Amino acid sequence: MTTFRAPKGTFDLLPPDSAAFLAVREAMARTVRLAGYQYAETPVFEDTALFKRGVGESTDIVNKEMYTFTSQGGDSLTLRPEGTASVLRAALQANLHKAGQLPVKLYYSGSYFRYEKPQKGRYRHFSQVGAEALGSEDPQVDAELIILAVDAFRGLGLTNVKLLLNSLGDATCRPVYRAALQEFLRGLDLDEATRARIEINPLRVLDDKRPEVRAQLAGAPMIGDYLCEDCKAFHAEVRELLTDAGVAFEDDPNLVRGLDYYTRTTFEFVHDGLGSQSAVGGGGRYDGLSELLGGPALPSVGWALGVDRTVLAMEAEGVLEKETSRVEVFAVPLGEQARRLLFGVVRDLRRLGVSADIVFGTRGVKGAMKAADRSGARYALVAGERDLADNLVQLKDLASGEQIPVALDQIIPTIKEKLS
């Protein structure tokens, strides 16, 4: 018999680990909801052209990592490799930017797909929580988003997340810098592919991780020296707001990020417990993306946090809580009459918001008690023929082993009181 396995570069989320994963995702979402970000969900696939244009033809994502397929109807579709282009597309399509006050603040949470070389922390199917503020040029929005991400990581108990910060300039100063950088790079000893990249997207060369390239980049012109007055003031304001918020950051002039559409503020969150896949999140301002997608001018900023890597970072710091308890109450009926009675008790407990489960089928006492223990429940409700004849059930505290008889009509109030 053949057995199937999850595709290469993917993994399944199953209990008991799945609970922590879900909790991380929810904690991130909760943090941005506190700031008025509202949930957005877009299709898992989009027109291929959206990502080609919105992520950029010269990026690794578009060139090497997309899952692109032709539908039965002949359309070229791509599994989403990131969230920003889709969310902006959706907001523009629904005219959210015309509906009310700007910025439109949206968050999302879900699966993303990139054809990558699988390694720890780098998967072909992974999970992100993202937040985007569409339609504001206020540096307070950049600061708000960065602070929220920091708060999310802190809220999860992480203490070793480092914030790297840079500004990429805007349409005024970026081209001047770009030309200066190109001139510098053309003078280096680089392979053909990298030379080609100098002409298409020279900033990306700064991101090259190979030591032989890194060594030559030492004297490269820095964007910080080229920022125009507006960009300088903007960046200074973001930095000040972060400092006021008690958020530490490190300037990283080489932080250009993988995507073409970033302007001004760019940032990345890195964790040192993850080996080479150290980025747990990243984002930045993308003032030009809306127009690139055929929309109006809509200066925006956003980030995406990697849920999988955040979970790994929490494991590395020893702050990941494993779920040990499935339910609070576990019923162990001994005999047919008890089965019927406790089935009803469990049903009523659930209706009152108390999590409860019951042993199904007919099992011996030993097996049934083992199931109760394994559920992680705080209390077992045990009832046999003799208890029922006396109108009783036994309520057992599974941690202490202490057992007390409880009258049938007192079961629910007693449990509710003990759990409160």
Residue labelled with tokens 């957005």: 40
Report the nearest approach of ligand ATP to the CB of residue 116 (Å). Answer: 5
Work out how close the CB of 21 gets to ligand ATP at its nearest, in angstroms, rounded to a whole number.
13
Residue 79 Cβ, how far from ligand ATP at the closest point, in Å?
A: 12
Q: Is 128 annotated as a binding residue?
A: yes
Q: Which of 134, 311 has the CB closer to ligand ATP?
A: 311
Q: Are strands 379-383 and 329-333 parallel, antiparallel or unpaired?
A: parallel
Residues in the site for ligand ATP, rule: CB under 6 A? 82, 114, 116, 121-123, 126, 128, 258, 277, 279-282, 304, 306, 308-309
- In this complex, which beta carbon is closest to ligand ATP, that of residue 149 or of residue 346? 149
- What percent of the residues of the chain are helix, what percent strand, and what percent coil, each to the nearest 5? 40, 20, 35
Find the shortest distance in angstroms from Cβ 284 to ligand ATP. 9
**Cβ atoms of 277 and 122 closer than 8 Å:** yes
303/330 with CB nearer ligand ATP: 303
Residue 257 annotated as binding site:
yes
Which residue of the chain is nearest ligand ATP when measured via CB? 306
Looking at 34-138, list the stretches that DSSP marks H as alpha helix, in order from N- to C-terminal side: 48-55, 60, 84-93, 96-99
> SS3 for 214?
helix
User: Is 261 annotated as a binding-site member?
Assistant: yes
Q: Is 264 annotated as a binding residue?
A: no
In the complex, least distance from residue 286 CB atom to ligand ATP, rounded to whole angstroms: 12
Minimum distance, C-beta of residue 60 to ligand ATP, in the bound complex (Å): 8
Residue 243 in marked binding region: no
Q: Is residue 84 a known part of a binding site?
A: yes
326 annotated as belonging to a binding site for a ligand: no
DSSP state of 378: S
Q: 144 or 308: whose CB is closer to ligand ATP?
A: 308
CB 407 within 8 Å of CB 391: yes
Nearer Cβ to ligand ATP (107/126): 126
Query: HSE (CB half, 13 Å, CA atoms) of 84?
Result: 30
Concatenating the DSSP letter of every residue in 124-190 gives SEEEEEEEEEES---HHHHHHHHHHHHHHHHHTT---EEEEEEE---TTTHHHHHHHHHHHHHTS--
Judged by beta carbon, residue 52 or residue 309, the one nearer ligand ATP is 309
d(CA 159, CA 154): 6
In the annotated binding site for L-histidine, the residues are: 82-84, 114, 128, 132, 257, 261-262
